Amino acid sequence: MKELFDVTRLGNLELKNRCLRAATWEGIAEEKGQINDQTLALYADLARGGAAALITGYAFVLEEEQPSPKMFGAYNDTFIDAYKSLTDIVHENDSKIVLQLVYGGSFTWFNTESRVIWGPSAVTNKISGVTPHEMTPLDIQTLINAFGDAARRAMESGFDGVEMHAGHGYLLNQFLSPFFNRREDVFGGSSEKRARIIFDIFENIRKKTAPDFPILIKLNCSDFMGTKGFTFEECLALCKKLDTLGIAGIEISGGPVFRAPKTEKEPTLEVTLPAQDSYFSEYARVIAEAVSAPVILVGGNRSVETMENLLNETEISCFSFSRPLLCEPDLINKWKADKSVKPRCTSCGQCFTLDGNNCIQNREKAA
């Protein structure tokens, strides 16, 4: 019988249990992406809370491109020393830490007037209203190198791995999507060509890091846009290919996830996710059967019973949690003591605001 608290692995990365903190933008970094004491305190708290590994909020890889305010940066070597303190504090508290890397692209509301925003093609993003500049082959190479350099910095800072964010409507997801990617060169057209940027980034990271440095990816199982978007069949094929390349873990999400602010005066992003437990499990089940790389399921994981049933009925290896740990950073320890504990998180999604995130229940408690 498999259990949530089994020791397991993501490639070279040994995990004390099957629970990860899913990447969660905190909105607490400094303006240019540097971490601070608040960051260290938050990650120490999360590490003490029992998750085997913490995936950071997304970090931008090019200085000019920052999709959200006060997010982590990873775009030059000045970050390395501060990140060493972050990885140390997590390791001292018996957890592991993976840096999530992103290029946001047109799915952004932050500083959109003052910067050049790249896209695979100049297709207007109807959610944000942003029309990106179509990337030249040189821009694409610059970005591939930026991901590789950021991963090298992560390794030098003591991170236990990196995760490419290729889901939720951000740039790598857009390359995968025939709606956003209308290119006719080697980076567009067939599904294999639309995925090429991801393979090139993977190789660039591999070249710049140790041969067994864990590289993870977060993917939409589907964009849920019919054949206009990235489909489940394409996701499955991509996962099989990444498996042959040696991906250390595939985190399965789905998209599009967030709705736009309703008005400028009302900037809360409402999370519109399905309500049922572990809602992408049917997609993750099929993928996990087809690949040897561990599959991590994210989204709506709220019941140990459901997760342990999935562990025993499917090949899914791990589960990641975002909103429940925003509400209760020590939820994993609570589950370790009593598997019947019900998380306080109600999946209301109000934790995500442009002023930084925090759980509405904790806000009410503090007031």
Q: Which of 153, 165, 196, 285 binds ligand FMN (CB under 6 A)?
A: 165
DSSP code of residue 189: S
Instruction: Look up residue 56 and give its two tokens.
Output: 């950071």
10 binding ligand FMN? (CB under 6 A): no
Both tokens of 67, joined, read 């999709």
Residue 37 CB, nearest distance to ligand FMN (Å)? 21
238 vs 198: CA distance, rounded Å: 10
Binding segment for ligand FMN among 22-30, 175-183, 231-239, 289-297 (CB under 6 A)? 22-30
Between 128 and 357, whose beta carbon lies closer to ligand FMN? 357
Per CB under 6 A, which of residues 110..139 are in contact with ligand FMN? none
Helix, strand, coil abundance in the chain, percent, nearest 5:
35, 15, 50
350 binds ligand FMN (CB under 6 A): no
> DSSP characters for 43-55?
HHHHHHTT-SEEE
Residue written as tokens 């608040």? 38
Helix (H, G, I), strand (E, B), or coil: what is residue 227? strand
The per-residue b/e assignment along 324-351, b for 16 or more CB within 10 angstroms, e otherwise, is bbbbbbebbebbbeeeeeebebebebbb
User: Residues 235-274 vs ligand FMN: string with x where CB under 6 A?
Assistant: ------------------x-----------------x-x-
For residue 75, the minimal CB distance to ligand FMN (Å) is: 16
Query: Does position 108 bind ligand FMN by CB under 6 A?
Result: no
Q: What binding mask, one character per residue, do residues 270-309 give for ligand FMN by CB under 6 A, x or -?
A: -x-x------------------------xxxx--------
* Smaller CB separation from ligand FMN, 121 or 307: 307
Q: Cα 278 from chain centroid?
A: 17
Pick the binder of ligand FMN from 10, 20, 24, 214 (CB under 6 A).
24
Told to check if 321 binds ligand FMN by CB under 6 A, we report yes
Q: Decide: is 198 part of the binding site for ligand FMN (CB under 6 A).
A: no
Query: According to the binding rule CB under 6 A, does residue 343 interact with ligand FMN?
Result: no
Kindly tell me which of 148 and 343 has the beta carbon lying closer to ligand FMN: 343
Alpha-carbon distance of 189 to 195, in angstroms, equals 10
Instruction: Answer whether 341's CB lies under 8 Å from 309's CB.
Output: no
Closer Cβ to ligand FMN, 1 or 275, answer by number: 275
Span interacting with ligand FMN, options 28-36, 105-113, 282-290, 317-325, rule CB under 6 A: 317-325
DSSP 320: E
25 binds ligand FMN (CB under 6 A): yes
Please list every residue from 47 through 106 that binds ligand FMN, using CB under 6 A.
57-58, 100
On the question of a cis peptide bond just before residue 211, with omega within 30 degrees of 0, the verdict is no
Interatomic CA distance for residues 66 and 32, integer angstroms: 9
Q: Exposed, middle or buried: residue 55 (CB in 10 Å: 0-12, 13-18, 19+)?
A: buried
Contacts of 274 (CB under 8 A, 6+ apart): 299, 300
* Beta carbon of residue 347, minimum distance to ligand FMN (angstroms, whole number): 6
Output the smallest distance, CB 214 to ligand FMN, in A. Answer: 16
CB neighbourhood size of 215 (10 A): 25
Q: Indicate whether 218 belongs to the interface with ligand FMN (CB under 6 A).
A: yes
Single-letter amino acid, residue 132: P
Binding residues for ligand FMN, total number by CB under 6 A: 24
Interaction site with ligand FMN (CB under 6 A):
22-25, 57-58, 100, 165, 168, 218, 253, 271, 273, 298-301, 321-324, 351-352, 357
